[in-house]
Structure 1
């Protein structure tokens, strides 16, 4: 319940909390309504944090691949991080963090300052997608959940043991496929589609 009352009116009951509005009017809020609003705000903040965490951990490899492909298309020419961020259509600071990981892995070289830019550290044919995947520090593509087992459930007690080998083999196959694909292949495919 949300009621705006004149200054001469009193709150309906003791369970209500009153606030003085900017125009000297008394706003009366139901205490439960305020608690619900606070709970809703907290829930929304939790959702935002979860979405932020999930999106950042799940897009590391794709953003790193995008940056490397842009550098591969422009091979031999330095590209500014702001131009790469515009290509990815992502926050420049996030893209700079990705570039930093790629530089630490020896895949790109960077220069700082007003005319700072980055470029590939070696030819696109000598960079595999596995190199980029590992440099991006992305989480494994296939992973088990970390929830504790419900001891009263047969599936819950045994699913992790049963799925561990399957997911390990799937991750291995995924990485083997990335190792066979080079950045030059990606650049060629981009140019073909254009």
Structure 2
């Protein structure tokens, strides 16, 4: 499955928001500046996270973003699903029933074919792996100085 960069931006922003939680809400402009992104671009990438309750958004001059729930309750799959959607990567169209398969007895198609079974099994394993990793796990695996570096950079930003 191909994931867009919105997943990466979403996860990095969630980590930064966790590290800066005591300063929240963090404005779109300052969060975008931390990652050298245009604010409108980042805002569009974060909107699905707000809709899913992963982030909270406060409007106004003193508004911005904060985590919508504790890092232990946000999985990587939550972010992937919010950004990329929750549709299955593989959709069986029963191509085996076309051409020569059209002549086969219906009983031959009672069970899913091996291709469908293999691809669905692989996707399920992928989803389970992402659902088993939380934002807290990513934070714990980050370099020890990452939170301090993020805070210093944030505090050095204008305005």
* TM-score normalized with structure 2 length: 0.66
Separation in structure 2 between the aligned mates of residue 167 and residue 76 of structure 1, nearest angstrom: 43
How many corresponding residue pairs? 131
**In 2 relative to 1, CA 193–166 (structure 1 residues): closer, same or farther, beyond 3 Å?**
farther
Gaps of 5+ in 1: 1-54, 153-160
Partner of residue 103, structure 1: 50
Contact 1:85 1:95 in 2 (8 A): yes
Deviations 1:116-167 (A, max 9, x none): 21101111111111111111135779557xxx9xx99xxxxxxxx7644333
Partner of residue 137, structure 2: 185
Partner of residue 20, structure 1: none
Separation in structure 1 between the aligned mates of residue 36 and residue 90 of structure 2, nearest angstrom: 28
Give runs of ≥4 in structure 1 deviating > 4 Å: 138-144
Bigger Cα displacement from structure 2, 118-127 vs 78-87? 78-87
Contact 2:71 2:134 in 1 (8 A): yes
Separation in structure 2 between the aligned mates of residue 140 and residue 192 of structure 1, nearest angstrom: 36
Report the structure, 1 or 2, having the larger strand content: 1
Partner of residue 76, structure 1: 22
Bigger Cα displacement from structure 2, 166-175 vs 117-126? 166-175
Separation in structure 1 between the aligned mates of residue 145 and residue 89 of structure 2, nearest angstrom: 30
**In 2 relative to 1, CA 61–163 (structure 1 residues): closer, same or farther, beyond 3 Å?**
farther
**In 2 relative to 1, CA 172–190 (structure 1 residues): closer, same or farther, beyond 3 Å?**
same
Larger Cα-atom Rg: 1
Contact 1:80 1:118 in 2 (8 A): yes
**In 2 relative to 1, CA 111–177 (structure 1 residues): closer, same or farther, beyond 3 Å?**
same
Separation in structure 2 between the aligned mates of residue 63 and residue 165 of structure 1, nearest angstrom: 32
* TM-score normalized with structure 1 length: 0.55
Partner of residue 64, structure 1: 10
Partner of residue 110, structure 2: none
Higher relative contact order (CA 8 A, sep 6+): 2
**In 2 relative to 1, CA 164–58 (structure 1 residues): closer, same or farther, beyond 3 Å?**
farther
Partner of residue 102, structure 2: none
Partner of residue 175, structure 1: 127
| Structural mapping, 1:79-90, within 5 Å | 79-90=26-37
